[in-house]
Copies of this chain bind each other. A is one copy, B any other.
């Protein structure tokens, strides 16, 4: 059997001994003093983006439905549900807040793995913070370590894991949440390893579910079940010795020829959080330069939408392969449709969630304009670049805009002010009534906060 051979090969590879134990020892011992200042700041930026997308997603039907179903079994309502008026028990709140943060795929992206790192980790931490007192520094340290474990585990099995069909944010996120909570609970290295083991038993999530509500279940579970994993480990609920590297452990079972060194190499010196990026638009990242070009073009006084005869998109072939989708019918599909993106951004001069809603997609004028899009493949373009050229007939000169490096990559990241604006925009979109300003201030001040949990009521819904 082919698979047996694969596994055998993995066994012959990097020394598999004590990967889980080695990682657990590092996670249990790392100190706030060891975290470089730029990593600490990136943690706060990730949380800014987390609350932004959570406030944007909080009124989505998936979140509302799950909240109503879980309310039937909810225990003591100790935890804030982001952007909503109801509160939940700790586990339900972690579940729901991970869902809302990720429901539009507008959350952060770890470049190498395409993990959305924050959605599974932050909700577990903040849910615990509302009943177990922790400082902002403690929470931020636990968050950094959770993301570190999550992304390094992802590195070890990328790109084969996602390519096979694993929703890597969910499958690796449960480890991140377990580690973050384990750290807050003060687990020793042995128990931290058990938390990883308890998480390994719960790693799930399929790419097939993308575009359906089911996707949000696995993201919610990553947060909830990571929390459970660590709470159990604290009570001596023990796991296997080698949950990651074992012959039937997570890395070998869900990865193809996993690279164990990704977990151990440079641990404590290189920080995965520095590879985290934040989306400026709620779309597939390859569309970023196209959207940015259209935003620029939309400002030109010479542009006449009515006169447009043809819109050429020139870019690396991957751009066409991923986004050539005419005639989409849902907002979710529109997020990966160049035709819709070009039409709506040129027309409205905006590229927010409202521009990628079901209602917006249905507008006949946008569909007609999208029909004028033509792709021009050019392998000389970088993936981060694109040119949009608008032709309006012989009487008008063509308009053209080249974007060499779109915003939202780690090379050209959103600024702190951009992230604040994203939170304000999404708070408005989500209609929670949450006042963004005090929340923004509390996030930037988190490293000085005596009580991290005090931030959460600022993110609650007011309507």
A residues at B contact (CB < 8 Å): 1-7, 62, 65-66, 68-69, 72-76, 89-92, 160, 163-167, 170, 194, 197-198, 200-215, 217-218, 221, 225, 228-229, 231-232, 235-240, 242-243, 246-250, 252-253, 256
* Copies of this chain, count: 2
Given contacts A7-B164, A253-B164, whether A214 and B201 have CB atoms under 8 Å apart is: yes
Given contacts A76-B73, A89-B75, A231-B69, whether A208 and B240 have CB atoms under 8 Å apart is: yes
Nearest to A4 among chain B residues (CB) is: B163
Q: Which residues of B contact A165 (CB under 8 A)?
A: 7, 247-249, 252-253
Q: Which residues of B contact A167 (CB under 8 A)?
A: 201
- CB proximity of A73 to chain B, nearest CB, Å: 4
Tell whether, in the assembled complex, residue B75 and residue A239 are in contact, meaning their CB atoms are under 8 Å apart. Answer: no
Tell whether, in the assembled complex, residue B197 and residue A243 are in contact, meaning their CB atoms are under 8 Å apart. Answer: no
Bound complex: CA A131 to CA B205 (Å): 30
Tell whether, in the assembled complex, residue A217 and residue B240 are in contact, meaning their CB atoms are under 8 Å apart. Answer: no
Tell whether, in the assembled complex, residue A204 and residue B206 are in contact, meaning their CB atoms are under 8 Å apart. Answer: no
- CB proximity of A430 to chain B, nearest CB, Å: 19
Tell whether, in the assembled complex, residue A204 and residue B204 are in contact, meaning their CB atoms are under 8 Å apart. Answer: yes
Nearest to A239 among chain B residues (CB) is: B214
Tell whether, in the assembled complex, residue A209 and residue B218 are in contact, meaning their CB atoms are under 8 Å apart. Answer: no
Q: Which residues of B contact A166 (CB under 8 A)?
A: 253
Bound complex: CA A92 to CA B75 (Å): 11
Interface centre among A91, A205, A208, A253 (most CB of B within 10 A): A208
- CB proximity of A250 to chain B, nearest CB, Å: 6
A to B CB contacts below 8 Å, 29 in the list:
A2-B256, A3-B164, A3-B256, A65-B237, A66-B232, A72-B75, A73-B76, A165-B249, A194-B214, A198-B213, A201-B205, A201-B218, A202-B204, A203-B204, A204-B204, A206-B248, A206-B250, A208-B248, A208-B250, A208-B253, A209-B239, A209-B243, A210-B240, A211-B240, A214-B237, A214-B238, A214-B243, A217-B232, A221-B225
Q: Which residues of B contact A73 (CB under 8 A)?
A: 75-76, 89-92
Q: Which residues of B contact A246 (CB under 8 A)?
A: 208
Q: Which residues of B contact A90 (CB under 8 A)?
A: 72-73
Bound complex: CA A205 to CA B76 (Å): 29
Q: Which residues of B contact A75 (CB under 8 A)?
A: 72-75, 89
Q: Report which of B76, B194, B212, B236 forms a contact with A240, defined as CB distance below 8 A.
A: B212
Bound complex: CA A377 to CA B202 (Å): 39
Nearest to A245 among chain B residues (CB) is: B208
Q: Which residues of B contact A217 (CB under 8 A)?
A: 198, 201-202, 228-229, 232
Q: Which residues of B contact A240 (CB under 8 A)?
A: 208-212, 214
Nearest to A196 among chain B residues (CB) is: B214
12 further contact pairs, Cβ within 8 A, besides A73-B92, A209-B239: A2-B6, A7-B164, A66-B232, A69-B237, A164-B248, A165-B252, A198-B213, A200-B206, A201-B217, A201-B221, A212-B240, A214-B238
